[in-house]
Structure 1
């Protein structure tokens, strides 16, 4: 059978642990508080951080170009 969409990739979250400086932890807590004021929904900073990182990476044109080149080299076996 042929379907229009292929099999979905693995979407199982991967847990990462990071340590941040106290100033960044405070800024993330403030961001979560402002988020709650803005949207009326409480979210922990650790819930917002993955979205922030995803948005940052998706907006970084240099990273996207370099990543594409990296994967092109890897597919040629030139890693």
Structure 2
């Protein structure tokens, strides 16, 4: 079983954003969605739904960013 950084995607009210992705990033996002669907047993129909949890995970694990959030002087 593959150890992915994301788990099942929670159902949440989205805020609509438009972004351009390089083709290679989009292909990887589609592939990640397919693997995630197999691993969780949850069908991920729209790979774009992975972007928000991926960004959230990235920011949550970014030590420098978290330091600035804890220390208002760092902003």
What's the TM-score, normalizing by structure 1? 0.66
Cα shift at 1:29 = 0.1
Which has the larger Rg? 1
Q: Could you tell me how far 1:16 is from its partner in structure 2?
A: 1.3
Q: Whose RCO is larger (CA < 8 A, sep 6+)?
A: 2
In structure 2, the residue matched to 1:41 is 42
Question: RMSD value over aligned CA atoms?
Answer: 2.2
Greater per-residue helix proportion: 1
Give the aligned length.
62
